[in-house]
Each structure stands twice: as C-alpha cells, then as structure tokens.
Amino acid sequence: MNVFLIIIVVLFALAITDLIVGVSNDAVNFLNSAIGSRTARFRNLMIITSIGIILGAVFSGGMMEVARKGIFHPEHFFFDEIMFMFLAVMLTDIILLDTFNSLGMPTSTTVSIVFELLGAAVAMSLIKISQDADALSLGEYINTQKALAIILGILLSVVVAFTIGAIVQYFSRLLFSFNYEKRIKYFGGIFGGLALTAISFFMIAKGIKNAPFMTPEVKTWVAGNTMVILGGSFVFWTIFLQVLHSLFKLNILKFIVLAGTMGLAMAFASNDLVNFIGVPLAGLDSYQNFIASGSDPSLLRSDFLTEPVQAQTYLLIIAGVVMAVTLWFSRKARRVVKTSVDLARQDEGEERFQASKLARGMVRASVSITSVTSKFLPAGLKRIVSKQFEPNPAIEAMAPKDRPAFDMIRASVNLVVASVLIAIGTSLKLPLSTTYVTFMVAMGTSLADRAWGRESAVYRINGVISVIGGWFLTAFLAFTVAFILLLIINFGGAVGIAILVFVAAFVIYRTYRAQKNKDKKESDAKKLYKTDRTFKVECRDNVSISLADILEQFTASLKAASDFDRKKAKKSLKNTKVINKSSKALKDNIYQIIRKLDEEDVNASMYYVQVIDYLRESTHSLRFIAEPVYEHIANNHKPFSKAQQEAIQHLIQVYTPLHQACRDMIMRGEFSAIDHVKEQQDYLYEEMGRLKKEQLKRIKKGKDSTKASVLFIDVLQETTLMSIGVVNVLKSYRDFMTN
C-alpha cells in the first residue's frame, strides 16, 4: 500500500468527521430563527431541516470547483504536491471547526476552507520556488484575486447584512407592532407573498440552479425570465396564504418561518457541502488519474483538475444523510445556535459575554446620539412609534422558561432578509458567507427591535464584537495552521502524516471530553434555578445544593493546600468558579422570581433577596480561598510547614460541623437548634484567633516561609467571613420561611 492510498483513506475519514463538525457549526444559519421564535416543536423542526439538507446535498453536484481550482492554479502543481496540500487542508479544517464549535462560536466554513487552501498552496509554492531556480513566481501559483474577494466579502457581509436587517425589521415592527395578531388578518397575505417570493428566489439562485438535472437550456430560461417567475410567485403566494388564513386560520408567519428554515437548510447543504467533501473528492480524482497514468507522482501534473467535475449522486446523498443525522444528535450544534439566540433574545437575563471598553463606548455614543436626535422629533410621532414597540401582554404573562427569545415577525424578517441578500450576492457573484449574513441580519433585527436595552446592550454588543473577531481570526488561523501542516507533511513524509493524524484525533477527543464535562457542570448549575417547583421548595433546594457544594470545595481546596497538590487545587478552583456562576445566576434571576410572588409577599421577597445576597458573599469567600491556594501551588512557592498542615486539618474539623448544621436546618425547615449554631460559631472564632496567634509566633521565629504564612492568614480570614455568610443565610432563610 503506497503512501498516497493511505492519504486517500485518511481524507475520506476526515471528510466524514468534517461533515459532522461542519454541520454543527453551520446549523445556526437555518435553525436560529425557528428555535428562537419557538415556531414548531424541536422534533418537527429537525424533520423539516433534515429533508432540506438531504435535498440540498443532491443539488450540490456543480459546486465542487472551489477545492480544485478556485484558490490556486492546479496545472502548476504535481500530483504528490496536490495530495499533500489536500491532506493539510482537511486536518486544519477539522481542528479549527471543532475548536470553534466547542466554544459555541459560529464561524464560516467557506472562509475556513478558502484560507486553508490558500495557506497550503502558498507553503507548497514557496517550497517549489526555493528548490527550483526556474520556478514560477508566487502570483502565478496562487489565485490572489479570489482571496481578496473573500476578504472583501467578509466586510461586505457584516456591514450590509446588519444594516439591511435593522432597517427592514424597524419598518416591519412599525407596521405590525408586537401585538400583530389583528394586522396579520389584513396585511398577512401581502407580507407572506413578499417573504415566500424572496425565499423562492433564494432557493432558485442558491440551490436548484446547481442541481444535476438542470440543463443549460433550463438555466438560461430561468435567468431570462427571473422577473416573470418572481412576479407570478408573489401573486400566487399572496392569494394562496390570504385564502388559507381566512378560511382555515392558517398561521402565515409560522408557514413563512418553516419554509424559510427549509430553504436555508437546503441552500446550506447545496453550497457548503463543497467545504466538507470537495477536497477529498478532488483528492480521489487525482489518485484515480495517477493510477491510470502510471506516471511518477513527482512528475505528473494536475492540469486535469481544471476540467469541470460532477460528483456522484450517491456520494452526495450519503453526505446529506450524515449531516442530517449529526443535526439530530450534535450538542455542539445546539451550543452554537444558543450563542446566536442569546445575543438576539428580546428579554434580559444572564448574559454570556462580559462588557468591554469598546462596547461601553459604543453604547455611550449611541445613547448620546439618540438623546440629541430625540429632541428634534415631534412628541406625537414619538408616542406613535413607542406604542408600536410596546410588549405583547400575552408573551409578558408567560413564565420566563416558556417565552420565545423573539416573535415570529422578527424570525420571518431574519429569514427573508438573509435569503434575499445571499441570493443577490450569488447573482452578482459576490462571495458572501451564509454564516456571516444570517448572523448579522439576526443582530441587526434584534437592535431594531429594541432587544438591546440599557440593561443588556454592552454585553450583547461585546458578544457580537467577539464573534466578528472570531471570523477574522478564522481566516488567519486557517491560513497559518494549513501553512505549517503542509511543511510538516512535505518534509516529514509518512512519519509526519502519522503524527498529524494522531494529533488531530487527540484534539477532537479532548474537546469532546471537555465539552461533555462542561455540559454536565451546566446541567448541575441549572438545578439551582429551576422554576417548575413551588417557591418554598425551590428556595430550599437552591440554598441547600449551594451550601453542600461550598463545603465540598472548601474542604477540597484546603486539603490540596495541605498536600501541595496542584491538580486537586486546579480542579477545586474550576468547581468553585462553577459555584460562583450558579450563585450569580440566582442573583440575576431574583427579578423574575419576585415577580412570581403575590403582592402581599413583600416581606418574603425581602428575605429571599437577603438569602441570595449572603449566599453570594459566601461563594465569594470560597473563591478568595481557592484562587490563592492554586496560585501558591502553581507558582511553586514553598508548601505549608507541618504545623500549618496540622492547623489546616484542625480548621476543617472545626468549620465543617457549623456549616453542616446550617444546611441540615435549612433542609428540615426546623430552626430550634439555631442557638447551638451560634455556640459553634463562637467556638470557631476562638479557634481562628488561636490559630492566627500561633501563626504570628511562627513568623517571628522565622519557622514558616513568607508566602505560605500570608496564604495561611488569608485562609483564616476568608473562612471567618464565609462562616458569617453561611450563618446569615440560615437566619435569613428562617425569616423567609416564617413570612
């Protein structure tokens, strides 16, 4: 078995993996609107998108050229060079996309594959130039115009999609408002006709025209009669939807969202399938040509790759099925979708991204501009506009967990605007990224819908900036990593290939394990703020689970400090951060919890707030123990002396009964032993004072190191504060229950 046959086997194994990680990333393109608006049950939505993906895969037969000749000129490369380039590209693509999926960040598979091909081709070109005095120049090997077009396409996608999405959504909201049920009766047919006409145009421009059964004559007829087709489509859909709505109460918006979702899924598979299997198929064609020629691989030119190619239908169907199955089971796909939905949701709540100086500056500037502009607008006009943006009472009355992230008006606009922009870009042969367009349209519509209020704007804007930064980072990393891997493959030969395949498999395995652990932690964290239980039971469970976790990590962190065990200290710090995040979620959720209470439960609300505040202080103290412990060990400072180790063990023994007693009373809802807890607390303070005096004596005698002594005293201080917080949690919980 020669090395090139091994490369072919590896390429197709990577192709299957790439299909899985690729659809996990691009699922946000077509699922965002339907999931965010809760248009249909998840199972039904998956059925619709699966059908769209499989149909789109069948229509993608004419889209395989970019991997063969779009970025470089294959006639100037030999067979062995081409195969090395293809392998470097696929390895890079899998590592890169899997990493972005694990972070829940949507990126462009088109940009990834283009810059990977560019990086590998540039590396191979430089090798040829360095080894051959008669070699061509770099510009003759590389299709530089294509790369520049992609870069311009990124900028164009971001600016145009965001702006158009915001404008269309603003006027759509002015027309329909959030209470759109009545106006849909009169304008729903026209709105639906425009929407479905746009979606039909999109499906023709991006999908059906590339189907294997589309003859040149049919394509020419479609191109020459586009306006007639669109006009007829508008008339048909307008009448059809209005009649069905009037006679059978058809939900026009739901129909639009489902049709648009299927259309985007179909176009995704039709156009983006090349990003996942285009390179392996080009490699297979190259290998078959090599076997048929019987030539030396280092002398066989790859000019045959410039010829048109049509992929086998059965391969396209298999690829479509793999993507559809992945969509059903991929947790990473749901994580990427969640990032987009969270940034676009109408309600406030826990924000994934933190604020930044740039985001704060943009918000301040926006507030200032709005304030100045508002002064020149008539008061009557401002009242009319504000009325159109008043929330829908029916949605406001829903429990937070049951509310859609946004309504179907916005979901429809998301799909229609994205479809039109992508279709126009395709017609003009502009390299617009599906991911970039759909994401930025969603962000533009959320801004126009006033979803980015004063409470959330800095976090949402910084989230968008982070995602956009990730897109540019994608291009840089794709080029750089593919460049480096090509050098390793070229000079390392079979050994280099084996090492890189192992590294890629290891990276995917590690991200899978990390993702699994992260999902488990988030699942545990969600237990802290379930809202489907009675309020008393909910509060009890939240507090008792938190206190149990605090005690566990307090003990783990101090034992790690005593044993000078870096791995245990690191693990404890990670778990402590999860606890802090959970307590923050509880605090952020106070507003929704209090709204659930009756008006007469003001006292109960006040004590509940106190419970959460004291719980938050306790978790802060825990973190101020876990972080210094880990940093002390990680920095390789001197470990605790034997006397300090014994003191730490005694501290655990003294503190644990106090903490456990507080939790037990909360669990039982019986507080007769609260005086005993006060006695335990007094005893703890006495022991703390004694341990601190003994430590000061050791410092004077120079027995303990400076860093260890500082850490020891900090631990004593934070333990004292944590005990105060825990006892106050108990007292406030008692007052909460009695009220």
Are residues 549 and 503 part of one domain? no
What was the pLDDT predicted at 607? 81
| Domain extent for 615 | 531-738
Domain-embedded: residue 525: no
Looking up residue 550, the CATH number of its domain turns out to be 1.20.58.220
C-alpha to C-alpha distances, 567 to 18, 20, 632, 647, nearest whole angstrom: 33, 33, 13, 22
3-state secondary structure 656-704: HHHHHHHHHHHHHCCCCCHHHHHHHHHHHHHHHHHHHHHHHHHHHCCCC
* Whether pTM exceeds 0.85: no
Residue 623 has pLDDT above 90, yes or no: yes
Tell me, what's the pLDDT at 529? 44
Question: What's the pLDDT tens digit per position in 501-530?
Answer: 888 888 878 777 766 666 665 555 455 444
433-471 pLDDT, tens digit each: 777 888 889 899 998 998 887 778 888 888 888 888 887
Q: Find, among 435, 503, 573, 424, the residue nearest to 92 by Cα.
A: 503
User: Does 377 share its domain with 507?
Assistant: yes
Does residue 617 fall inside a structural domain?
Answer: yes
pLDDT, residue 530, reads 47
From 590, 17, 726, select the one nearest 332 (Cα to Cα): 17
CA dist 324 and 306 (Å) reads 31
What percent of the chain shows pLDDT beyond 90? 20
Say what the pLDDT of residue 55 is: 80
In-domain check, residue 526? no
Residue at which a domain ends, from 470, 493, 519: 519
Q: Over 50: is that where the pLDDT of 40 sits?
A: yes
- In angstroms, rounded to a whole number, what is the distance separating the alpha carbons of residues 457 and 439? 17
Would you state the pLDDT for residue 532? 42
Same domain, 539 and 488: no
Q: Is the domain of 514 the same as that of 543? A: no
Other beta carbons less than 10 A from residue 97's beta carbon: 29
Please name which of 79, 76, 9, 494 lies closest in space to residue 296, comparing C-alpha atoms: 79
Pick the range with the lowest mean pLDDT from 152-161, 201-210, 417-426: 201-210
Cβ neighbours of residue 422 closer than 8 Å, sequence gap 6 or more: 202, 205, 206, 267, 432, 434, 437
Q: Are residues 560 and 413 in the same domain?
A: no
**Residue 292 and residue 196 share a domain:** yes
- The mean predicted confidence, pLDDT, of the chain is 82
**Cβ atoms 401, 345 nearer than 8 A:** no
Does some domain include residue 636?
A: yes
Number of domains, the chain: 2
Across-strand partners of 144?
Answer: none
pLDDT at 300 over 60: yes
Q: How far apart are CA 71 and CA 119, in angstroms?
A: 10
C-beta separation of 534 from 594 below 8 A:
no
CA-wise closest residue to 307 among 285, 287, 326: 285
Q: How far is CA 57 from CA 52, 318, 426, in A?
A: 9, 9, 18
553 and 512 in a common domain: no
Residue 313 lies in a domain: yes
In degrees and rounded to multiples of 5, residue 142 shows phi and psi of -110, 140
Residue 472 lies in a domain: yes
Q: Name the domain boundary from 490, 519, 548.
A: 519
One domain, residues 477 and 500:
yes
What's CA 479's distance to the chain center, in Å?
A: 22
Q: What is the DSSP annotation of 134-173?
A: TPPPHHHHB-HHHHHHHHHHHHHHHHHHHHHHHHHHHHHH
Indicate if the pLDDT at residue 207 is higher than 60.
no
Same domain, 25 and 74: yes
Same domain, 200 and 109: yes
Phi, psi of 179 (to 5 degrees): -100, 70
Does residue 248 lie within any of the structural domains? yes
Assess whether pLDDT exceeds 50 at residue 533: no
Q: Which of 495, 519, 543 represents a domain boundary (last residue)?
A: 519
Statement to judge: residues 208 and 92 lie in one domain: yes
Report pLDDT digits (tens) over 93-147.
Answer: 888 888 877 776 777 777 788 888 889 989 999 998 988 887 888 888 887 777 6
In which residue are the tokens 């530089």 written? 144
Q: Where does 297-378 have alpha helices with state H?
A: 313-329, 331-344, 357-374
Same-domain check for residues 393 and 420: yes
Q: Is residue 524 part of a domain?
A: no
